[in-house]
């Protein structure tokens, strides 16, 4: 159970409409990621679903029941906050037990559920510690533990990994994905990091200025972005956009080509240019090429490909992987 439907939901702060009318359907058991640049309204949307903000107009339905005016605790959702929001004066055990205690469950049941959650999250040895004595990753797990003991119909994650260092972030990403696989509960995850979105999601919702730009599976968005914004946002490094004559030759205002879909050669190709920066990642090398009349393009080549700053190279795009966009920025199919 955990189907969430947003029907023409809007949110206005003062005179500023942060979310224009928005429809969204989240299926039971899905891992949905809201992704978008800072200030695009993704956290606001999550807080509307959680009930921490009031919806201005529109309706939210959880499992078919109208939940627009239901108190946050009654919606059966659990949230993991960006700062974890652990209660600093309570031990890990009491933190995890808090929602159960508030629900008025008997002590024996609480003990058992906390034990189980701690076992799942490898927290058994830390149950008597305070949050202040834990590392970032452990705090994150306590926050998740506090969410899972409630057995919610959906989990809401608000940028949960942004306070962790890079290595730990990759680990926690895996752990959350594994948790989703074992619990099979709906999860809604907010992030500004498109890598997190691509790696974790069943369904990605790309938001920009409160509007849903596109909804789809990670590969849908990668292969068939609906507009320039999605094309530029999904994929790393960013897609190259070319305008002018080259685009007109393809009967489009703008054409986009991903760095990995450009072949690089040192002797012949469609576009000539000079390497301005070569970023060696080991497995790949990212070349920033200053072309003669198309501006700077990024290309991804094999790590073995040896070019340096100042090398002259030729770029050849894979024509079938080109994305075409019209004057309004919409993709031409």
**136 lies in the binding site for another protein (CB under 8 A):** no
Q: How far is the CB of 95 from another protein (least distance, A)?
A: 10
Nearer to another protein by Cβ, of 54 and 302: the residue is 54
**163 lies in the binding site for another protein (CB under 8 A):** no
Q: Please identify, among the stretches 38-46, 78-86, 206-214, 283-291, the one whose residues bind another protein according to the rule CB under 8 A.
A: 78-86
ω into 8 cis (within 30 of 0): no
* Among 73, 109, 274, 277, interactor with another protein by CB under 8 A: 73
Smallest CA-to-CA distance from 120 within 128, 112, 129 is with 112
Ramachandran category for residue 104: left, alpha or beta (phi over 0 → left; psi -120 to 50 → alpha): left
Nearer to another protein by Cβ, of 99 and 218: the residue is 99
CB 293 within 8 A of CB 277: no
The kind and range of the H/E element at 95 are helix 92-102
What is the footprint of another protein within residues 51-70 (CB under 8 A)?
Answer: 52
In the structure encoding, which two tokens stand for residue 194, read together? Answer: 């498109």
CB 149 within 8 A of CB 97: yes
Please tell me the distance from the alpha carbon of residue 258 to that of residue 293, in angstroms, as a whole number. Answer: 18
* Among 132, 267, 304, 328, interactor with another protein by CB under 8 A: 132
Q: Please identify, among the stretches 94-102, 175-183, 226-234, 260-268, the one whose residues bind another protein according to the rule CB under 8 A.
A: 94-102
Please tell me the distance from the alpha carbon of residue 143 to that of residue 329, in angstroms, as a whole number. Answer: 41
Find where tokens 């070569």 sit: 278
Please tell me the distance from the alpha carbon of residue 164 to that of residue 137, in angstroms, as a whole number. Answer: 7
Q: Please identify, among the stretches 22-30, 88-96, 206-214, 235-243, the one whose residues bind another protein according to the rule CB under 8 A.
A: 88-96
Q: How far is the CB of 15 from another protein (least distance, A)?
A: 18
* Among 69, 87, 293, 302, interactor with another protein by CB under 8 A: 87
- Which phi and psi angles does 197 have, rounded to 5°? -60, -50
**85 lies in the binding site for another protein (CB under 8 A):** yes
* Among 24, 45, 62, 78, interactor with another protein by CB under 8 A: 78
Q: Number of helices (H) and strands (E), helices first, in the chain? A: 9, 18
* Among 2, 99, 160, 216, interactor with another protein by CB under 8 A: 99
Please tell me the distance from the alpha carbon of residue 257 to that of residue 276, in angstroms, as a whole number. Answer: 19
What is the footprint of another protein within residues 298-327 (CB under 8 A)?
Answer: none
* Among 42, 93, 141, 146, interactor with another protein by CB under 8 A: 146
Smallest CA-to-CA distance from 85 within 12, 19, 156, 20 is with 156
Q: How far is the CB of 132 from another protein (least distance, A)?
A: 7
**Chain contacts with another protein (rule: CB under 8 A):** 50, 52, 72-74, 77-79, 81-83, 85-90, 98-99, 102-103, 132, 146, 150
């Amino acid at each position: 159970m955990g189907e969430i439907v947003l029907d023409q939901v809007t949110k206005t702060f003062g005179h500023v409409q942060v979310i224009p009318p928005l429809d969204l359907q989240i299926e039971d058991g899905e891992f949905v990621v809201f992704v978008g640049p800072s200030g695009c309204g993704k956290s606001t949307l999550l807080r509307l679903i959680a009930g921490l903000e009031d919806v201005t107009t529109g309706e939210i339905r959880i499992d078919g029941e109208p939940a627009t005016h239901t108190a946050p605790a009654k919606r059966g959702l659990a949230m993991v906050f960006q700062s974890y929001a652990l209660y600093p004066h309570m031990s890990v055990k009491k933190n995890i037990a808090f929602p159960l205690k508030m629900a008025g469950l008997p002590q024996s049941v609480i003990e058992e559920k906390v034990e189980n959650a701690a076992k799942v999250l490898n927290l058994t040895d830390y149950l008597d510690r305070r949050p202040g004595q834990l590392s970032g990753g452990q705090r994150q797990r306590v926050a998740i533990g506090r969410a899972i003991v409630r057995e919610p119909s959906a989990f809401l994650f608000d940028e949960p990994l942004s306070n962790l260092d890079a290595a730990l972030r990759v680990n926690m990403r895996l752990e959350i994905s594994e948790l989703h696989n074992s619990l099979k509960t709906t999860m809604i995850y907010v992030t500004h990091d498109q890598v997190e979105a691509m790696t974790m999601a069943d369904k990605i919702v790309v938001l920009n200025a409160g509007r849903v730009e596109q909804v789809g599976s990670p590969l849908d968005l990668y292969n068939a972005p609906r507009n320039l914004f999605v094309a530029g946002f999904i994929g790393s490094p960013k897609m190259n956009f070319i305008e002018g004559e080259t685009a007109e030759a393809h009967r489009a205002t703008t054409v986009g080509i991903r760095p990995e879909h450009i072949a690089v050669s040192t002797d012949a190709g469609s576009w000539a240019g000079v390497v301005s920066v070569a970023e060696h990642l080991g497995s790949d090398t990212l070349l920033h090429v200053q072309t003669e009349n198309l501006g700077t393009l990024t290309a991804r080549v094999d790590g073995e490909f040896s070019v340096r700053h100042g090398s002259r190279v030729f770029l050849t795009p894979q024509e079938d992987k080109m994305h075409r966009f019209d004057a309004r920025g919409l993709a031409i199919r």
